[in-house]
Amino acid sequence: MSKIIEPLRGVHDILPAQVGAWQHLERVAREVFAAYGYEEFRVPVIEQTPLFKRSIGDFTDIVEKEMFSFVDQGEDHITLRPEATAGIVRAVISNGMLRDNRLRVWCMGPMFRRERPQAGRYRQFHQIDAEAFGFEGPDVDAEMILLSARLLRRLGLTRLKLLVNSLGTPAARAAYRERLVEYFGAHEADLDEDSRRRLHGNPLRILDSKDARTQRIAAGAPRLLDSLDPESRAHFDSLCAHLSSAGIEYHVEPHLVRGLDYYTRTVFEWTTDALGAQSTVCAGGRYDGLVAQLGGTPTPGIGWAMGQERIVMLLEAQGLAAPRERPDVYLVLAGESAQIAGFTLAETLRDAWPNLKVQVNLGGGGIKAQFKRADKSGARIAAILGEDELARGVVSLKHLREETAQEECLLAQVGERLGALLGSKGTRTAG
Ligand code: ATP
Ligand code: MG
């Protein structure tokens, strides 16, 4: 026998039993985006490597050590997208979508980062992502946050906390950066290795360090929020007012920074205490300079990304995961002519009752074996078609999950009867 090929480290399969929770999350997300007038946008999983280097920033974890990059047979430098924003910005520029200067879109799909795998942290993971372009004021910041709040609420999730902060303008941030270099420079010997390395490249990231000693030092660092430029201050205050009047509870977290370089002004995160170390389930912020940085007409932008694995973990932990999809009916077929007639019956049922889930027994087998399979399928009802039933033009219906007597029903009426037994199964189609 040949050797089994293992999956890659940090890459996971989403099993049929888990898919229900994923579909539920994605269905609710679609509905909520529609309710806010956001359109779905599908962009490639692979992009040119320089796109991510130019947008995410050289001193970020992602660009420094986490990208899956390769040179293909045609010498193109390619990277599997580590996040969605850069690709969407590239796409709105390439497709000339910013000509009327306004756009609200969302997307969803796999992202790739070569991180150390652990619970809630994978090398292929999935994000739901929202982006808006062309809106300068704090109203869109509020809308973005309200949208994420509604999605989380619609899912029924609890134990979530919203953190907000402002990083000011690039100029304010640059001045703040100098103050941070000075502050952390005085504590250099006590910083963790990564933070020491970042001291001159990206000192803001030290505030985000997961190292306990560095965190204690960071707690005393100067706060950008205390020295915001007046316009950024007004922007932030207005956002907070919007959130308050919408009844959204938030916490101002002056040391909240984001891992990527391109953020300006508003940044926010939804965190939970229910998932251990991997506590952020959704994160985002404003990136007013990014479109221009990638060669587009200067256009403000804002977005967020939600980690689907972490949301699904929360749904499961909080007993909110949708039950596994099961067939309604398992069709037991006994005898050769019933085998053919059964296939026709199943197709007729699916034609007329598109919401009815019919699983047909495949591969023959005795009645006993077929009933075992019917039971294992999770179906509520077994419909039995044997030579005898066929000769009389009937089907036997047997309840698999409750003590109700088996009954017979005319072949022509079986759809109607199943509909009645199973509760509402949608309306019959015309054709
Ligand atoms: P973290 O601080 O947890 O590394 P991040 O700041 O790198 O997160 P973002 O780039 O903002 O994360 O991505 C948004 C969201 O995507 C995160 O809040 C998280 O829910 C999810 N996410 C990010 N990286 C991973 C990963 N490797 N595995 C699973 N989910 C992830
Ligand atoms: Mg990260």
pLDDT over threshold 60, residue 323: yes
**Mean pLDDT of all residues belonging to the chain:** 94
Nearest ligand to residue 12 Cα: 1
Asked if residue 142 and residue 253 are part of one domain, the reply reads yes
CA proximity to 25, closest of 318, 355, 379, 303: 318
pLDDT for the residue numbered 425: 55
Q: What is the pLDDT of residue 103?
A: 97
For residue 200, the CA-to-ligand 2 centroid distance in Å is 20
**Helices 85-94, 49-56: inter-axial angle, 10-degree rounding:** 110
Q: Whose alpha carbon is nearest atom 16 of ligand 1?
A: 307
Segment 227-251, tens digit of pLDDT: 899 999 999 999 999 999 999 999 9
CATH number at residue 377: 3.40.50.800
The pLDDT, as a whole number, for residue 262 is 80
User: Are 271 and 413 in the same domain?
Assistant: no
Question: Is 191 part of any domain?
Answer: no
Q: Is the pLDDT of residue 428 over 80?
A: no
Residue 71 forms beta bridges with which residues?
Answer: 77
Tell whether 287 and 333 lie within a shared domain.
no
Is residue 219 domain-resident?
no
Closest residue to atom 29 of ligand 1, CA basis: 121
**337: its two tokens:** 């002519």
- Residue 427 confidence (pLDDT) above 90: no
Same domain, 335 and 401: yes
Q: What is the CATH number of the domain that holds 295?
A: 3.30.930.10
Residue 400 or 429, more confident? 400
pLDDT at residue 113 greater than cutoff 80: yes
Q: Are residues 77 and 154 in the same domain?
A: yes
Q: Is residue 257 part of a domain?
A: yes
The answer as to whether 349 is a domain residue is yes
- What number does the ligand 1 atom closest to the CA of 83 have? 10
Q: What percent of the chain has pLDDT over 90?
A: 84
| Same domain for 354 and 422 | yes
Ligand 1 atom 25: the closest Cα is on which residue? 121
Question: How many C-beta atoms lie closer than 10 Å to residue 153's C-beta?
Answer: 14
* 68 occurs within a structural domain: yes
How far apart are the CA of 291 and the centre of ligand 2, in A? 23
Residue from 329, 370, 302 nearest 147 by CA = 302
Question: In terms of residue numbers, what domain contains 390?
Answer: 329-426
395 lies in a domain?
Answer: yes
Task: From 317, 338, 359, give the residue that closes a domain.
Answer: 317
Query: Ligand nearest 113 Cα, by number?
Result: 1
Q: Which residues line ligand 1 (CB under 6 A)?
A: 83, 113, 115, 120-122, 125, 127, 259, 278, 280-283, 305, 307, 309-310
Q: Separation of 199 CA from ligand 1 center, angstroms?
A: 23
Q: Please report which ligand is nearest the Cα atom of 118.
A: 1
Of the residues 289, 317, 345, the one at which a domain ends: 317
Give the pTM: 0.93
Assess whether pLDDT exceeds 80 at residue 48. Answer: yes
Residues 111 and 50 in one domain: yes
- Number of structural domains in the chain: 2
- The closest residue, in CA terms, to atom 23 on ligand 1 is 307
pLDDT per residue as tens digits for the range 325-372: 899 999 999 999 999 999 999 999 999 999 999 999 999 999 999 999
- Identify the pLDDT of residue 59: 79
Residues 52-75: what's their mean pLDDT? 93
Residue to mutate, 114, 127, 255, ligand 1, most ligand atoms under 8 Å from C-beta: 127
- CA–centroid distance, 93 to ligand 1, in Å, is 25
Q: In this structure, which residue's CA is closest to atom 8 in ligand 1?
A: 280
Statement to judge: residues 123 and 160 lie in one domain: yes
- In terms of domains, do 306 and 372 share one? no
One domain, residues 113 and 146: yes
Q: How confident is the model at residue 430 (pLDDT cuts 50, 70, 90)?
A: very low
Residue 107 and residue 246 in one domain: yes
Distance 171 CA to ligand 1 centre (A): 27
Indicate whether 263 and 335 sit together in one domain: no
